[in-house]
Structure 1
Amino acid sequence: MFTGIVEIIGTVLEYQELDVSASGGNGVSLTITDASKILSDVHIGDSIAINGTCLTVTEFTNNDFKVGIAPETLKKTNLGSLKKGSKVNLERAMTGETRFGGHMVQGHVDTVAEIVSSVPEGNAIVYTFKLRDPEFIKYVVHKGFICVDGTSLTVTNVNDDAAEFSIMMIKHTQENVVLPLKKLGDFVNIEVDLAGKLIEKQVQVALDNEINSDNSPLINLITRIVQKVVKEQLA
């Protein structure tokens, strides 16, 4: 788990596509440098979020670390567009002693979104994004949490019909994350708030159980309503 508070910006040192005979299948081996600040306590197998994507450390030095990226992850995220020199947001997995300044982030990217607007407002910037997969807009709510390239942000506007949402990024955040380095048309990783998906699942299961039970409160209520309507029509 992560907090969505980016610790440092790293740099892609090597992006190597692997063939099917290599370790990791036909995914990618990614080496990140300029990462010494977060490697003092690292171990093989630890999780580090790169642009909000939880990945496993397979090798490391004092300044660099390497991860493998599976084909499924490349499909869901913007990591496939990285190249040598690309800047990325980095955050270590949280510990029991971590100050919780963002929101609960899994590092499991749901989809990507295109940057469609960037408008200065004072020393802040209002960004608007369009989801590649519009079905995820139902989890995006006004004043709710959203994770953009691993950065915990607050939703300021939602357009359900266009599958678009906006956030406002303050000056401090601009100086410590990669989003201001991107341009219109670029894609960012999106992880919606887990709470919405959990609530939807619970409601769906509860409704299914009610519908599949002949004597459930829901079925009894529907039966009474139908009986009342029929009685009124026959009167």
Structure 2
Amino acid sequence: MFTGIIEAVGTIKAIDINANGARLVIATNTLDMGDVKLGDSIATNGICLTVIAFDSTSFTADVSNETLTRTGFAEYQVGAQVNLEKAMLASTRFGGHMVSGHVDGVSQIKSITNNGNSIEYWLTMPNDLAHYIAEKGSITVDGTSLTINALSDDSFRLTIVPHTVKETIFAHYKAGTKVNIEVDLIARYLERLLLGNKELGKNDAPKSNINEAMLAKAGFLK
């Protein structure tokens, strides 16, 4: 589990894509590797990767074909910069929101404009994820926890403050850049509970006691 607060910007040192997936070597740059162990998780552009080898300046991880299909990793090249965050600790400040590191899809930067000392980014909204994306809700973009500030029929707007631009790869984005997105984890689980077993086609199975009326009574819906 992660918080979406980026700890460092790394660089892809090597990438080997083959029939079985891919193997990456990431230079960690300023990321503190002093407490990293084999098997630990490091979110890389929002993707939870398992450390299979490491030293004080880099780590190696395998990427499955499923991950290559659902994310932008298949297009990454040596030298590309990536956002890095180590898995959160129980004692860590929860500065962002609950991030699983399981990317839901790929979005694309539509436009970038200055607004005072901040920068506004409009991004495409994949049709199959649109119902999870709400104004003032949370979303993860390349591993960064962000607030959605506006919606249109097919896109959403982010307002990025200078500190975030400085500490992440947002400064490298331009119109057309593809980014990994993960929708709010709570929204996805709520949908699953409301659906019960309909999604699985098991209409004769026991149904969940959770419904919209119960959620509204408990104050989750307005």
TM bucket, shorter chain: 0.7 to 0.9
From 28, 34, 56, give the equivalent of 1:34.
28
Q: Name the structure 2 match of 1:50.
A: 44
SS in 1 for 2:163: helix
Residues 1:106 and 2:100 are matched in the alignment: yes
Q: Name the structure 2 match of 1:231.
A: none
Q: Which moved more, 1:77-86 or 1:42-51?
A: 77-86
Alpha-carbon contact 1:36-1:62 (below 8 Å) kept: no
How does the TM-score come out when normalised to structure 2?
Answer: 0.86
Letter of the 1:185 counterpart? G
Q: Name the structure 2 match of 1:154.
A: 147
Letter of the 2:86 counterpart? R
Q: 1:36 and 1:129 mapped to 2: Cα distance?
A: 29
Alpha-carbon contact 2:45-2:82 (below 8 Å) kept: yes
| Cα distance change on mapping 1:202 and 1:85 into 2, 3 Å | same
Alpha-carbon contact 1:5-1:151 (below 8 Å) kept: yes
Cα displacement (A) at 1:212: 6.7
From 106, 113, 122, give the equivalent of 1:119.
113
From 37, 42, 54, give the equivalent of 1:60.
54
| Cα distance change on mapping 1:45 and 1:206 into 2, 3 Å | closer
Q: 1:82 and 1:183 mapped to 2: Cα distance?
A: 15
Residues paired across the two proteins, number: 202
Cα displacement (A) at 1:82: 1.3
| Unaligned runs of at least 5 residues, structure 1 | 214-235
Q: 2:198 and 2:33 mapped to 1: Cα distance?
A: 47
| Unaligned runs of at least 5 residues, structure 2 | 206-222
Q: Name the structure 1 match of 2:131.
A: 138
Cα displacement (A) at 1:37: 2.6
Cα displacement (A) at 1:36: 5.3
How does the TM-score come out when normalised to structure 1?
Answer: 0.82
Q: Name the structure 1 match of 2:168.
A: 177
Q: Which moved more, 1:79-88 or 1:46-55?
A: 79-88
Structure showing greater Rg: 1
Q: 1:82 and 1:179 mapped to 2: Cα distance?
A: 16
Q: 2:183 and 2:22 mapped to 1: Cα distance?
A: 25
Q: 2:150 and 2:166 mapped to 1: Cα distance?
A: 23
Identity of aligned residues (%): 40
Question: If each structure's helix is expressed as a fraction of its own residues, which one has the higher value?
Answer: 1
Cα displacement (A) at 1:34: 3.5
